Amino acid sequence: MKIIVGSRESRLAVIQSELVMEAIRLSHPEIALELVTMKTTGDRILDRTLDKIGGKGLFVRELDAALREGRADLTVHSCKDLPMDLPSDLPIAAFSRREDPCDALVLPVGAASLDTGRPIGCASARRRVQLRELFPGVEVQPIRGNVLTRLQKLDAGEYGALVLAVSGLKRLGLEARISRRFSPQELLPAAGQGILAVQCREGMDTSFLGCVRDQEATLCALAERAFVRELDGGCSSPVAAYAAVSGESISITGLYVDDAERTSRGTVQGPAGQGEELARELAQKLKEEAVCRAK
């Protein structure tokens, strides 16, 4: 049996795909694996922010086509980069164990503190809105490109700091670049941050992916994505959600941002198996509170 794994060609994407492939190799040495990389539309267009060119769905278009055409059997994504509404013929086959879900402040090489005279670079509206609350008066500017490209721009003096996902830095072996780890209470992560999602074709036997699937991460990913979906937020939206499982219970914290970029946060707890329903209820509650506040 041979499985072809499709991936974006960035170093981080390849490392993430190899993590999934290594788990399969260890549990199923009889399966031959091949990695195929490709550049996506989102990787090619770097002069505009994602919300101006169609959102993070541009990072999966070519990979979806590869699945449908049989050029790949599985594709591996950062869960936070997947659109909230997926085509029914390309379901998610597995969510991996979660790496650290938090965001990190990264300073230029040699810097001991944040230079507030230079902008903080970040790639998402979710981070931008929250950073303005954490660092009042400090300019926040968009930055595009993969993690290594962004670090080059930072070290060249274009920015005073970057905000990047801890999980990506750790997987790249760049954990030493972290100057400050933001707790979820300080900077709420993107839905699915730190989790890898494996996509396949409908009807495919994916029983061999039991070695990749993580029950706790699956419950969290489904709840977080349900919260964002309920608010019609895509993966480029300021909307954010973070869930944590403890025993048979799940806690979900959500962030809603209105058109004036005023934020509302809330937390709900309940049975772990009802995470998606709880998340949708929290989303509606925060939206209603924001509407009342605006009147």
3-state SS assignment for residue 77: strand
The catalytically annotated residue of 73, 81, 100, 103 is 81
DSSP 268-283: EEEEGGGHHHHHHHHH
Helix (H) or strand (E) holding 19, with range, is helix 11-27
Per the annotation, the verdict on 155 as an active-site residue is: no
Per-residue DSSP letter, 101: -
Interacting residues of 139 by C-beta distance below 8 A, sequence separation 6+: 118, 119, 120
Name the strand (E) or helix (H) holding 28: none
DSSP state of 210: G
Integer Cα distance of 231 and 256 in angstroms: 8
| CB count in 10 Å sphere of residue 168 | 23
Distance of alpha carbon 30 from alpha carbon 239, whole angstroms:
43
Q: In Å, how far are 41, 57, 59, 127, 168 from 53, measured between CA atoms?
A: 10, 10, 11, 19, 23
What separation in angstroms does the CA of 143 have from each of 20, 102, 157, 259, 280?
28, 19, 13, 22, 31
Q: Which residues are catalytic?
A: 81
